[in-house]
Structure 1
């Protein structure tokens, strides 16, 4: 399954629409912002591997009576201070490493969510375009059916004036024409709805429907069989499965973070300070300190053990979610393939029915002109032909939509986003 599966349609207009949707879709912009946030959190967690520093500096002007040994008030002087504090947590029990591991897995889960959003945007953009084209094709079929019914109406009206047809035949022809005309407005409304959906997916307003989509009146087709692949490849491709697996990894790593809180934290720290005062005639005072700091919640371990239990419960929930994601991926793929196969079989049968209805109408028209049958038989054959053409057009739309559902279920339309 290629990541850019929509190119299999070999439709430059569709390719341009998908590329614009990938760059302007509002849901994708939200997902990308979430990914940027997750990356920033991951970088923050990685900062725990390095020493933390704090630099301070200050300047003051005034009297310092505490250091004045002369008579009267101390003179006004400038004093300057500076300091540097450095601390480093010694990761003896893996708390920092596990925290980084959890943060990285979180970022990868958010990246998978972004990929899942790409799958949806690509599939729904393609579906909206194919639907608009299919409805355009159905509108053409409806217009041709209206024209066919109108010609029959004109013919039978002329024959009524000539005395070779009854007014009943005219009314029957009028019913067929009205029914054909009634089928047109719903198709036009559905086409407009598909075009508006396409505009929204591309980050446009309804008044900014792409002209290439509005001009399309024939749905694009794919030559050859669908590149389905095997089940293992499916599970690797599906971003929702990868998201669930990465979330499980993150929650499992947090168990290690919670367990590390059972043990002491050892932090190495050093600090240095500087003082200069004009009263001291340029003399400077320097001081420094160095030593470890040990913090431990012993003997009250209730909080730490409760957090371990919470982390383990969350990991168990994530494992169940992962199992569910795998089952859902397999279910959706089988359902979409089954629906696509059924839609193709239905279309083949409807195409055969349309061809037979066309032959029946031509035969009925010839026999009516020869005077061997009544015009009612022609009306019946004509109605069957119009219905058959409409059903084939609707079947084409269902096949196109089912094909896109297959691509969507198989996880097509993403390239793994970086966590960096």
Structure 2
């Protein structure tokens, strides 16, 4: 009886431990989705650029020929207003388009999009509360763990990439005053077509809610056999995810390197040190089954992409890996730096310092302001596969 009573008390305490955000509509889940909320659900798409109540599907055939106002007017000509007149936008070379601009407090809950063309040439940026520098800045393919500009099925809790090229993001992204999301086409000659939908809620944001960040980096080739995923983070927060696109430039197993988290003043040695690349991504022994790399997807980690040489123009092996720290966030109080070693095997059963082509996106939450990101490489540097 005493054990049963203690269990009951533990359940009550766990219920009281839910943060305000779990009950006000910011983060619904299977454990609390039945609860009522005063939050207001809204959605932005080319059929409702502002997300305003009662303003969806209003594009008119009279706007035919006006870019981004009636892009599907021809195919809707027999039906008229309200019949999928403007489901996509067109972004010209060198142009930046504001996908969403939301005033007030709330949170982005889901982003869906399917960009055309070279995904490396579409740069997504996110700004919170009128900050001058973005908290998210990535080529759109890399942000959705498709850094090699090729589709691969990805089924996880934070990001899903579904057939035929549907990008979905479920990272919650709270804001207190304003949210702005843009897409820049850095292609020097081709326009892009973009279908997208941004689902969000308008609601109060708790005091302890941090801001979402994502930063792209690339080492091509890697020098010094250490790739820095992120450094210079200042403030309090938690690291929540890693995507890596790994291009191997040598034969043999390439993933012996350890990931290291330097936290809150660590200098030469980190607080958290992994035991190998495949170990960090929750696999083991080279991801090998019967002498072949074996792709896998789980809610929190995976090797979702293996691009194999085809004997002609695909000359190198390419890999895509993700690790979401949703149940095990890496919390820091003052700052954070994350690196991973670029390490394989050489003859004589010895480690081989490598010079791989490593793409990474780091995802974290922190209090603002954040330090400025490194300058994004030119399209010529980003393009190289």
TM-score scaled by structure 2?
A: 0.17
TM-score scaled by structure 1?
A: 0.16
- Structure with the higher fraction of residues in strand conformation: 2
Larger Rg: 1
- Structure with the higher fraction of residues in helix conformation: 1
